Amino acid sequence: MCEHCKTCGIVSVEKYDAEDDEWCEFVEELAELDQPEDYEEDLPMCGNRAKHLVVETMVEDHLCSAHVKRIQSEEVDADLFAESIGLGSSTIVPIEGKYSGLCQYFDPLDAKMEQCTEQATHARILEFETLYCEEHLKRYQDEMKS
């Protein structure tokens, strides 16, 4: 675990004044519903207005220097698109502390799908925002504590 993995989690929880079209984005987990993954699009959404905006960060993957350069040159448009539709934004930061993990780069178009064997030197951190109603914010915070 790198230093960035240790610091990820909830960044802020703010009161949110929802407009007519902004609803709680909480979705039940598949495991709780005991349904196969094929039904993912049918998961029940909360029907309540959003009351809180939660900003979170997570390490999406650890990368070697070569793959950092590749991502920075090829995925700028993909990151901008993801951010524009609310999937969050990502930044790539160097790993300063001691970390012995390998690069986790994955290319879905690579037929070989071989794991990179280089030492990871950077972490890609994803920041995303989620809207919650009062009930689901409490439930989410309780789940994060356990």
pLDDT tens readout for residues 70-79: 888 776 555 6
82: pLDDT strictly greater than 80: no
- Tell me, yes or no, whether 12 lies in a domain: yes
- Tell me, yes or no, whether 64 lies in a domain: yes
Find the domain containing 68 and state its range: 3-34+44-145
How far, CA to CA in Å, does 114 sit from each of 3, 69, 103, 105? Answer: 26, 18, 11, 10
Q: What residues contact 72, with CB distance under 8 A and at least 6 apart?
A: 92
Between 83 and 134, the more confident residue is: 134
pLDDT tens readout for residues 4-32: 999 998 889 999 987 767 899 887 664 45
Count of positions (residues) in the chain: 146
- Tell me, yes or no, whether 8 lies in a domain: yes
User: Do residues 121 and 65 lie in contact, with contact meaning Cβ atoms separated by under 8 Å?
Assistant: yes
Element housing 81 (H / E) = helix 76-84
Q: Give the per-residue pLDDT at 38.
A: 52
- Tell me, yes or no, whether 26 lies in a domain: yes
Domain count, the chain: 1
- Tell me, yes or no, whether 39 lies in a domain: no
Q: Give the per-residue pLDDT at 114.
A: 82
Give the mean pLDDT of 77-82.
59
